[in-house]
Chain A
Amino acid sequence: MPDGIKDKVAIIGMGCAKFGELWNKSAEDLMVEAFQEALEDAGIEKKDIQAAWQSNQFTEVNIGHSALPLATTLKLPFIPVTRVENLCASGTEAIRAACYAVASGACDIALALGVEKVKDLGFGGLPRANEDIVSLGTKGRLIFPNWVNPNPGMFAMMAIRYFDRYGLSIEEGKVALAKVSVKSHHNGALNPKAHLRREITVEDVLNAPMIAWPLGLFDSCGVSDGAAAAILARADMAKSFRPDPVYIKALQIAADSGESLMYKGYDYTHVETTYRAAIRAYQEAGIKNPREEISMMEVHDCFSITELVTYEDLMISPRGKAKEDIDAGFFELDGKIPCQPDGGLKCFGHPIGASGLRMLYEMYKQLQGKAGPRQIKNPGLGLTHNLGGQPPQSVCGVAIVGL
């Protein structure tokens, strides 16, 4: 079993743009906004950065290919700059790349920045699915359903199976899912960087227009523009930059093997990649009992059902018991393990390349005691969960951080 990454790399600065429908901001504007905040937070100069990774998925729309958009916008001085993409888990991929570069000794200080201008696609959701998003490329146009966006339906199918397996009627299931979104909106309302900032009720969620049955509009994350950045440094140098660097305790990614889509073994009531990445992440961080040892989480709530099954896949809630924990307020801001303290994808939307980094930003600020009205008391370990694709063909990144 290799050593792992625990305590080898630290985050010394982070930045996050205000997310939203940013018609008057370009990708360049967002990159600069996130980067400047991160640089100032780290207290370093741009020339101190020795390598950079750009995370974004929809390169065609107003960003461009390779990592030249990042390099030329920020005027990075001829350092190695690479673009990474792993669907919605791209943000965590950028962190992973920067983290491993620093841990390997290839550089001392690295930048990971994610940016996306999803609003410029002019579509409510993530389009061009068969060419861009799913695993078959253009062959998908021929054989997959006529999606423009496979996500709502493919996640909806997981809700159907989950309700069926655990004896929930559609109505009971939808109420459990609604509580997930209500909880996130409560937290987003307290967050000036979030896109959607109003409280909602369970009634609002149940009466919302249908997207892919049984998931409605308020079970789905929004479509927003945004950017977020992290500056990473060697752990043994970290305290020379600030008294409270945040250390990476674990960073694991798992990609589907094809089994979940084409083989009858998969039960479609969970996401296997989350589970596998979590097992390895807990092992890497030395965590034996996640429900007792994790203080707070930012998970990938592209849909309310995703968040619900994630509680179980991360081994926080026992299988089939997520609803009990939801009903008991376990994941509320004042609960045992606050989940989505910043409002989650539900309130920030999902600028794909930025989301994984935005999740880390909240964990970082919480650990440093800078989360204002959302501050969790004495957080120990924070977990981010970043999921790309759909349950039968997904890729998941799990990161664990602490002081």
Chain B
Amino acid sequence: MILALYGSKCKRCGTPQYPPQRICVNPNCGAVDEMEDYRFSDKRGVVFSYTADHVASSIDPPLLYGMIDFDGGGRFVFEFTDCERDLLKIGMPVEMSLRRKYLDEPRGIHGYFWKAIPIRE
């Protein structure tokens, strides 16, 4: 579920949250075990903040990442790809794309996860 970018949506207050939670993150709600599965992978969002990290691990430094506010609710931090830092601005619309995130050569593990990309029309 986590790898599929499914979070949970509180049935009581309607707040989507990622990663999936048992206790609702809405400070005015706090409902326990009243969640339903909620798919974030097909949701669009906007950039809430961003940075270009020169000390992070990347095959194409600097590593770009930021906080994404999803349409309909929910927020989390993701890497960006398919763009340069000077394209990034607060409010830029994004969609999610499953990409290779790390390569663990000695163990032969290709780690995939979702990254935010500028919307391709």
Known: A161-B49, A268-B49. A262 touches B55 (CB 8 A): no
Task: Indicate if B38 sits at the interface (CB-CB under 8 A).
Answer: no
**Would you call A153 an interface residue if the criterion is a C-beta within 8 Å of the partner chain's C-beta atoms?**
yes
Say yes or no for B97: interface residue by CB 8 A criterion: no
A261 on the B face (CB < 8 A): yes
Please give, as numbers and ranges, the residues of chain A lying within 8 Å of B53 by CB-CB distance.
145, 147, 152-153, 156, 211-213
- Chain B contact patch, size range: 35 or more
Query: Separation in Å of the A169 CB from the closest CB of chain B?
Result: 13
Let me know if B15 and A124 touch, CB within 8 A: no
With A146-B102, A157-B50, A264-B73 as known contacts, state yes or no: A152 contacts B55, CB within 8 Å.
yes
B4 to chain A, nearest CB (A): 12
| A257 proximal to B (CB < 8 A) | yes
A211 touching B54 by the CB < 8 A rule? yes
- For residue A365, CB closer than 8 A to chain B, the reply is no
B60-83 interface with A by 8 A CB criterion: 62-63, 65-67, 69, 73-79
Known: A139-B2, A160-B50. A145 touches B26 (CB 8 A): no
A1 is an interface residue with CB less than 8 A from chain B: no
A153 to B69, CA, bound (A): 17
Chain B CB within 8 A of A79 CB: no
Contact for A148 among B57, B77, B90, B111, CB less than 8 A = B57
Q: How many A-B residue pairs have CB under 8 A?
A: 117
Q: How far is the CA of A216 from the CA of B17 in the complex (A)?
A: 33
- Chain B contacts with A in 1-20, Cβ cutoff 8 A: 2-3, 15, 17-19
A144 on interface, CB distance cutoff 8 Å:
yes
**A157 and B25 contact, CB distance less than 8 A:** no
**Chain A residues, Cβ within 8 Å of B69:** 264
Distance A143 CA – B76 CA, assembled complex (angstroms): 10
Alpha-carbon distance between A158 and B78 when the two chains are bound, in angstroms: 15
Which single residue of chain A is at the shortest CB-CB distance from B29? A263
A164 at the interface (CB under 8 A from B): yes
B101 nearest CB neighbor, chain A only: A146
Asked whether, in the complex, the Cβ of A160 is within 8 Å of the Cβ of B77, the reply is no
Instruction: Output the least CB separation between B85 and chain A (Å).
Output: 6
- Nearest neighbor of B49 in chain A, beta-carbon distance: A157
B73 partner residues in chain A, CB cutoff 8 A = 264
Identify the closest chain A residue to B115 (Cβ). Answer: A145
Is there a chain B Cβ closer than 8 Å to A258's Cβ? yes
Shortest distance from the beta carbon of A147 to any chain B beta carbon, whole Å: 5
Chain A 42-73 interface mask (CB, 8 Å, partner B; 1/0): 00000000000000000000000000000000
B2 adjacent to A213 (CB under 8 Å): no
Interface string of A169-210 (1 = CB under 8 A from B): 000000000000000000000000000000000000000011
Minimum CB–CB distance for B34 against chain A, Å: 16
In the complex, the chain B residue whose C-beta lies closest to that of A123 is B55
User: Would you list which residues of chain A between 253 and 268 have a CB under 8 Å from chain B?
Assistant: 257-259, 261-265, 268
Other 17 A-B pairs with CB < 8 A, given A145-B53, A264-B75, A392-B67: A124-B55, A142-B3, A142-B111, A145-B65, A148-B56, A148-B57, A160-B49, A161-B90, A212-B53, A212-B54, A213-B53, A258-B21, A258-B25, A262-B25, A262-B76, A263-B25, A268-B49
Binding site for A on B (CB under 8 A): 2-3, 15, 17-19, 21, 25-27, 48-58, 62-63, 65-67, 69, 73-79, 85, 90, 101-102, 111, 113
- Between A and B, 8 residue pairs with Cβ closer than 8 Å are A141-B102, A146-B58, A147-B53, A154-B77, A210-B62, A262-B76, A263-B15, A263-B75
* A contact set with B: CB distance below 8 Å: 124-125, 136, 139, 141-149, 152-154, 156-158, 160-161, 164, 209-213, 257-259, 261-265, 268, 392
